[in-house]
Amino acid sequence: MKRVLVTEPLAEEAMRALAEHVQVDSRPGLSEQALVEAIGDYDGLVVRSATQVTAEVIRAGKRLQVIGRAGIGVDNIDLAQATRRGIIVVNVPSGNTIAVAEHTIGLMLALARHIPRSDAGLRAGRWEKRGLTGIEVRGKVLGLVGLGRIGTAVAQRAAGLEMQIIAYDPFVSPERAARAGVRLVDLEQLLRTADFISVHTPLTERTRHLIGAEALALVKPTARLINCARGEIVDEAALLAALESGRLAGAALDVFEQEPLGPDSPLRRCDKAILTPHLAAATEEAQLAVSLDVARQVWEVLEGLPPRAPVNAPFLDPEALAELRPYLELAERMGSFYAQMAGNNLVRLDLTYGGDVADKNVELLRAALLIGLLCSVSEEPLNLINAAMVAESRGLTLTEHRVPEADNFAGLITLRVLTTQGERVLAGTVMRQEPHIVRIDDYWLDFVAEGLLLVSEHVEQPGIIGRMGTILGEAGINIHFVQVGRRQRGGQGAMVLGIDDALSEQALGQVLQLPSIRSAHLVSLPACAFDRFATCG
């Protein structure tokens, strides 16, 4: 019988279910060295967030076939090493959805009716109502920042409270949002309109301090903010200033920039803030569901069944990887490039593989592009197995074509994106084993898709490159290449600058103030991890 080691608490029902299929040993609190010494006797390992499954642990697991994470995050597991060893890592991406959604609704109602302050006053011996008159949520506008799995569950429950629901999420189709009873808007409109703003987006460099001073300056003074996602998405200093100045009526936080929340945090002294200690997912039902799900996945993998929620993708043999890797990198970076340029909601994706690339494994290329596109907005880690399912859950339709022509290139991948505001086009190829982007909309150019890029659209005028260079030079930023594409002399054009350091907001603002510049975006394309076929995110 296969053997499984459980190093952190699982529900008793899950332990009994696991024991029906495998031999189970529960050894909570193992140190890393103790785990290294023990793991060689086991075929499976089940952990939560405390156990550190390091490369050394994985190398010691000579029989190890599967690692199960009872939860979503896998930061404590060395995915690269597990993938190299052919060990499947599984998690439970949806087990806490209802718990977090209900906690969000609970915090919203507590904010609306001043429930914590009322309770505290009564327990202190006071019977006071002054200043505690609440508001009804019926008819109010709930703005969801992120419409993934949890955001959608919140929307479904808010609909039962007769609220109007809007959301900001460029990577959800309008049809998918409409089915959830949600109207998609841009972030500025959401901030200006919503009575309650609830955050449900993953933490990335793009979402870090997304709700900061600039965003809070747009909200109505009667608005209230709820965050059950990640603490760093909200700038706590800016939030506190908005609450104390009356810029914001209230806030409810289950997550914080630093956890545990320090005893001297000024948030603790703010009577307009409701605070809970990161327990949105902590329900008996959620913990049972997560335990049962991970237990089932572990025994299924050990019985030879395919994993239902794999976190890492399968390892390719070196020859296959060497041939496909440049195209995987190209597809992933094309997806990431578009994601950082996107401003309108996606409706449909169309991929065309031309020339030599049409003979490649297009299923993996499609998945790689979707990873790049959705990596920064997905609530769960993306890989070559689950990327298509995540895209489908967001209502994104993708069609594909293989054609013999490649517009004078040996091979070409062309991405056409239909958005709510029209069509965008991106094309790329592989040259000298490097991923190149060669087309942005109607503009043909050529640059290696890596590093920091300043991408702008302009109306062609003499001196535009020089003025751009002056701004960057005064900011101490070196330019290492310039690519310009245009339709015709004096018409519209696109420019891509490779730069060594990121622009400050002030420098980017100066670029945007140039009279001929129509738009400008800073795009970051770090090295991809497809040499190890681990997850992105």
Enzyme catalytic residues = 230, 259, 278
* E strands present in 64-170: 66-69, 88-90, 141-145, 164-168
Beta-ladder partners of 436: 429, 448
Give me 60's structure tokens.
């010691």
In terms of phi and psi (left: phi > 0; alpha: psi -120 to 50; beta: otherwise), the region of 86 is left
The length of the chain, given as a count of residues? 537
Asked if residue 303 lies in contact with residue 526, where contact means CB atoms within 8 angstroms, the answer is no
- Residue 324: helix, strand or coil by DSSP? helix
Beta-ladder partners of 418: 348, 423
Q: What whole-number distance in Å separates Cα of residue 443 and Cα of residue 427?
A: 10
Give me 200's structure tokens.
């449900």
Q: What whole-number distance in Å separates Cα of residue 337 and Cα of residue 453?
A: 10
Beta-ladder partners of 196: 142, 224
Cβ neighbours of 81 (radius 10 Å): 19
Q: What whole-number distance in Å separates Cα of residue 346 and Cα of residue 377?
A: 13
- Residue 176: helix, strand or coil by DSSP? helix
In terms of phi and psi (left: phi > 0; alpha: psi -120 to 50; beta: otherwise), the region of 300 is alpha
Cβ neighbours of 409 (radius 10 Å): 19
Asked if residue 214 lies in contact with residue 198, where contact means CB atoms within 8 angstroms, the answer is no
- Residue 34: helix, strand or coil by DSSP? helix
For the chain, count helices (H), then strands (E): 17, 22
Helix, strand, coil in percent for the chain, rounding step 5: 35, 25, 40
Asked if residue 270 lies in contact with residue 264, where contact means CB atoms within 8 angstroms, the answer is no
Amino acid occupying residue 194: A
Q: Is residue 279 classed exposed, middle or buried when 0-12, 13-18 and 19+ CB atoms within 10 A define those classes?
A: exposed
